Amino acid sequence: MTTHTHQDPDVPVEAYLRRIGATRPERLDAAALRDLQLRHLKAVPFENLSIHLGEEIVLEEKALLDKVLGARRGGFCFEINGTFAALLRALGFGVTLLQARVFGEGGRLGIPYDHMAMVVETETEGRWLADIGFGEHSHFPLALDERGDQDDPAGTFRVVETGDGDLDVLRNGKPQYRLEPRPRVLADFTAGAWYHRTSPDSHFPRSLVCTRLTDDGRVTLSGHKLVTHVHGERTERLLGGDEEVRTAYRDLFGIELTQLPPVPPASPSRQS
């Protein structure tokens, strides 16, 4: 696998680090990567609001950085994994983007470029699978070359080789997605992003989600429904009018909205 290690001078590193409450790491090691991933998960929400607001999703580094840093928004996998990759490269980590197909009901695999993850190389501890764009996934990077169980606050994970050279990522014994180890670039995911923005077969046009990790659990807003998990205890309540929803977006996710996204009909959702 060829790892892309160029440092992009156009990435506003200090502004990005402030956005996630981090400082520039002294060493490019696994501990630094773990800290950056966890801080990112807590600061930048996984959200698909652009799809429901009719906003264009542009898979170009500058556009994504403008959204996450300038507009203080989040995004779905292609967007926030894309910006996180840009930050890591600018810091000096080796980063390779990978495409994945997500396992659905009955073990059926989704489309190619269904999901984006990345492999990050540290100075001394090898290769790590970093993924901040798969909803309730691992809090910390996974050791890509480890084939045993890897314990994480989000569950027990395992990376399994398939017969044709791909890698299946399992959580608590259940396959999550299948990685193809061939390096990709951001523009390769344009078709996948278009599919998830427009296709009736994608869950994204049928579900509205804004979620982030918290110090003691997770908070999720879907339309007027607010769900909080605190130390494993789930609480759900319906918010009142639009102003209360706007306030929740602002106070819980740092997102200022002049227009609320319309709520689609309720349907099962899968975050990726």
Residue 66 placed within a domain:
yes
Residue 35 belongs to a domain with what CATH number? 3.30.2140.20
Residues 29 and 271: their CA atoms lie apart, in Å, by 29
The H or E element spanning position 267 is none
* Phi, psi of 170, deg, nearest 5: -110, 145
Position 7 pLDDT exceeds 90 = no
Residue 207 placed within a domain:
no
pTM for the predicted model, two decimal places: 0.93
Check the CA dihedral 58-62-212-243 and report its sign.
negative
Question: Where do runs of H (alpha helix) occur along the chain?
Answer: 13-19, 30-43, 49-53, 61-65, 77-91, 190-198, 242-253
- At position 15, the amino acid (one-letter code) is A
Q: What is the mean pLDDT of residues 48-72?
A: 96
Q: What is the mean pLDDT of residues 257-261?
A: 93
Residue 196 placed within a domain:
no
Give me the pLDDT at residue 269, please. 41
Residue 252 placed within a domain:
no
15 CB contacts (<8 Å, ≥6 apart)?
A: 69
Active centre residues (catalytic): 77, 115, 131
Residue 3 placed within a domain:
no
Position 8 pLDDT exceeds 80 = no
- Which of the 8 DSSP states describes residue 140? S
Chain centroid to Cα 250, Å, comes to 20
Residues 169 and 159: their CA atoms lie apart, in Å, by 5
Q: Give whole-number Cα distances, 17 to 40, 75, 86, 263, in Å.
A: 9, 17, 12, 33
The H or E element spanning position 138 is none
Domain count, the chain: 1
Residues 252 and 222: their CA atoms lie apart, in Å, by 13
Give me the pLDDT at residue 247, please. 97
Q: What is the mean pLDDT of residues 224-243?
A: 95
Over residues 69-85, the pLDDT tens digits come to 999 999 999 999 999 99
Position 267 pLDDT exceeds 50 = no
Compute the mean pLDDT over every residue in the chain, rounded to the nearest whole number.
Answer: 93
Closest by CA to 176, choosing from 237, 214, 131, is 131
Residues 238 and 241: their CA atoms lie apart, in Å, by 10
Residue 181 placed within a domain:
yes
Q: What is the mean pLDDT of residues 174-191?
A: 97
| Residues across the chain | 272
Residue 79 placed within a domain:
yes
Position 118 pLDDT exceeds 50 = yes
Position 254 pLDDT exceeds 60 = yes
Which residue range(s) make up the domain with 17? 13-189
Task: Work out the burial of residue 268: count CB atoms within 10 Å of its CB; fewer than 13 is exposed, 13-18 middle, 19 or more buried.
Answer: exposed
Give me the pLDDT at residue 264, please. 85
Give me the pLDDT at residue 53, please. 95
- At position 214, the amino acid (one-letter code) is T
Residue 240 placed within a domain:
no
Look at phi and psi of residue 173 and say left if phi exceeds 0, alpha if psi is from -120 to 50, else beta. Answer: left
Chain centroid to Cα 20, Å, comes to 14
